Amino acid sequence: MMILLLTNTNIVHKSAQEFSELDPYGISMAIIAMSVVFSALVVLYLMFKYIAKIYSINFKEIISKKQKTSQELIVKKEDTTGEIAAAIATAVYLFQNQLHDFEDTVLTIKRITKTYSPWSSKIYGLRKAPK
């Protein structure tokens, strides 16, 4: 059987003890901590500043430009005939005519007097203290 004895001894590492001897007030530790935080903030600022520029780059366009210069593209131009234009115009005309709904435009405005509503009255929201 093993018995563990607990004693009230402070365990201090040698490096921590040496650091406390070199800097008893902790000024250098504070400067180091502030410089680490400040440098992290600068890095975050630069990341957020340039992230929009990185996302605005269109990589597909850059790749397609490289492919256009490397390969010769043949552009085929189709002539639109009058039949196609007439079909489009007829479809647009018929679509717009279906949207019209002829009704008599009669506006009726009736003034209604509001009856008393206790929903906005503050007197009903206040409670008396229980006795």
**Digit-coded pLDDT (tens) for 69-104:** 655 555 556 677 788 888 899 989 888 877 666 666
Question: Given this model, what pLDDT does residue 42 score?
Answer: 97
Tally Cβ neighbours within 10 Å of residue 19. Answer: 14
Question: Which DSSP string corresponds to 51-105?
Answer: HHHHHH--HHHHHHHHHHHHSPPPP-PPPPPHHHHHHHHHHHHHHHHHH------
pLDDT higher than threshold 80 for residue 41: yes
Top-confidence residue, 129 or 86: 86
pLDDT above 80 (res 35): yes
- The residues, ordered by sequence, that sit 6+ positions from 23 with a Cβ below 8 Å of its Cβ are 29
Separation CA 17–CA 35 (nearest Å) = 23
With pLDDT > 90 as the criterion, what percentage of the chain qualifies?
Answer: 14
